[in-house]
A and B are shown apart, each in its own frame.
Chain A
Amino acid sequence: MASADKDLPRATVKLDVDICTSWSHEMEYLLRFQRLWGLVVPLDHPEAEGQITSL
């Protein structure tokens, strides 16, 4: 995972074809925990943060 911080949640396995649903749930939790979920969901989603440009 991105962070070295031990307190942060981690995804148990990396994404592969057969585990998409469980992986995406874990990732949603992880991204929500880091307050990044709004930057990932589609723009028409109620939790979406505004349009941003890439770095």
Chain B
Amino acid sequence: MTGMQLRSGLQLRAPGSMVPHGVTSRDDASIKIEKTAGDAATGQEDEALLSGRAVSPQQIRAERARVVIILNVRAHHSAKLRRQLTARDMWASLREEFHPRKRSREITMRRQLNSLGMGSNESPSRYFNRDWDIVSLLQYIGIVVDDGWLLGALLSGLSVKYERTMELMEERDDITVRKALAMLRAADARAERRVLRKKA
């Protein structure tokens, strides 16, 4: 008998059952390859080797994932995370603790959409794109933003220089987000032409 299989899936080797001199077992070889790949050694792989446990490549990869995660959180969080034994548990724990809840994200993004304002030097296209970004984030969590809501939010944040254009939009019944953008671009083009005429 050369060893015993534990319930955890790890294999304990009997002291006299080492592989012949000069021959490396498959598991040991895989550990060597993994460790020379330049990745973090946790000491646990060495411990596993020293205690004669067979460690599968998948277990080594899982440990590497765990180390990658733990090295990328701040120290005060990592102390808590060390209790999680697998990368999967660690990721789930982080998600549980930090990932914004759907409801709070929804409220935050609704507020962002409704309070978005156009910058003084911002073009209409850029301003609309910022709004569409928030719309797509809301859609990602299952909130559908209809054209009317988006249009209201966009127009309320428009710069004062587009006031005349806004009045024109209000007079139209068929105004949509795309038509509003086209009208704002046209207003910009008119303003540019006026400036050029003045210069001439």
Instruction: Mark A residues whose CB is within 8 Å of B.
Output: 1-5, 11, 14-17, 20-21, 23-24, 27, 30-31, 34-36, 39-43, 49-50, 52-55
Contacts and interface: CB of A to CB of B under 8 A. Distances in A.
Given A15-B74, A52-B56, A55-B44, 4 more contacts: A2-B67, A3-B38, A20-B100, A55-B42
A31 B88 CA distance: 12
A14 B74 contact: yes
* Dominant secondary structure at the A interface: loop
A31 B40 CA distance: 14
Interface of B: 8-10, 37-40, 42, 44-45, 47-48, 55-56, 58-65, 67-69, 71-74, 77, 85-88, 90-92, 94-95, 98-100
30 contacts: A1-B72, A2-B40, A2-B64, A2-B67, A3-B40, A5-B38, A16-B74, A17-B98, A20-B98, A21-B100, A24-B94, A24-B95, A27-B69, A27-B72, A30-B72, A31-B68, A36-B64, A36-B65, A39-B61, A39-B86, A39-B87, A41-B91, A49-B58, A50-B58, A52-B58, A52-B59, A52-B86, A54-B85, A54-B86, A55-B62
